[in-house]
Chain A
Amino acid sequence: EADIYQTPRYLVIGTGKKITLECSQTMGHDKMYWYQQDPGMELHLIHYSYGVNSTEKGDLSSESTVSRIRTEHFPLTLESARPSHTSQYLCASSVDREGSEKLFFGSGTQLSVL
């Protein structure tokens, strides 16, 4: 059973506001990820982390930033939200089993920027 938590579940906010999406996992996984998903579309990787103090940008360009100060915590920040940031944000962590990484997802944050 995966123990990965995201807050808030839903967020409606005005343009220009700074927001932080929280993600925590209690499984001790080193690798963590942020994906963005629009309805009916692929999950796109926007950030990932190998471990503490390690962060990398993913394949989809994003104006968000992330930090990894503790193993269990991987927050995502938008300094100035815009309507184009409206999307579902999914946090995940992974464990190497049978030589590949299996992803465990949080419940997601649905962000709406007005």
Chain B
Amino acid sequence: QKEVEQNSGPLSVPEGAIASLNCTYSDRGSQSFFWYRQYSGKSPELIMSIYSNGDKEDGRFTAQLNKASQYVSLLIRDSQPSDSATYLCAVNPWTGGFKTIFGAGTRLFVKA
């Protein structure tokens, strides 16, 4: 079992719709959770972080965390073609200290 699992996609949504990206993790003691966006041929950039159960909103992005289900999600409201990218879920396991574990990412395609 991979430590961080994501559906590879591609996930295709029309412009203006809500895109929902999901991630599960295996280490129940994990403390910190992140979403990175990676455009094709570019490096990952951090867009959201979440540490407590519940929702965290930042502009059009909402991160959701459910530690009991070991589940993290990212919602993108009013999706734009510029949101088309690969979204990487990342976790800081308690045992690993500051070593971040990445999922393989979900490719999102927003159709104009």
Residues in chain A within 8 A of chain B (CB atoms): 31, 35, 40-43, 45, 48, 58-59, 90, 94, 96, 98-108
Contact = CB atoms under 8 A, between A and B. Distances in A.
29 contacts: A35-B102, A40-B105, A41-B104, A42-B2, A42-B4, A42-B102, A42-B104, A43-B44, A43-B88, A43-B102, A59-B99, A90-B43, A96-B98, A98-B51, A99-B31, A99-B32, A99-B51, A100-B98, A101-B32, A101-B92, A101-B98, A102-B46, A102-B49, A103-B34, A103-B46, A105-B44, A105-B45, A106-B43, A107-B42
Interface in B43-95: 43-46, 49, 51, 88, 90, 92
Contacts, number: 57
A10 B8 CA distance: 26
- Which of the four size classes fits the interface of chain B? 20 to 34
Contacts of A58: 99
Q: Main secondary structure on chain A at its contact with chain B?
A: strand
B6 to A, nearest CB: 9
Contacts of B98: 31, 94, 96, 100-101
Given A42-B104, A59-B99, A94-B98, A102 B45 contact: no
Contacts of A90: 43-44
Nearest to B43: A105
B100 interface: yes
A77 B43 CA distance: 21
7 closest A-B pairs by beta carbon, nearest first, are A100-B32, A105-B43, A101-B98, A43-B102, A42-B104, A42-B102, A108-B43
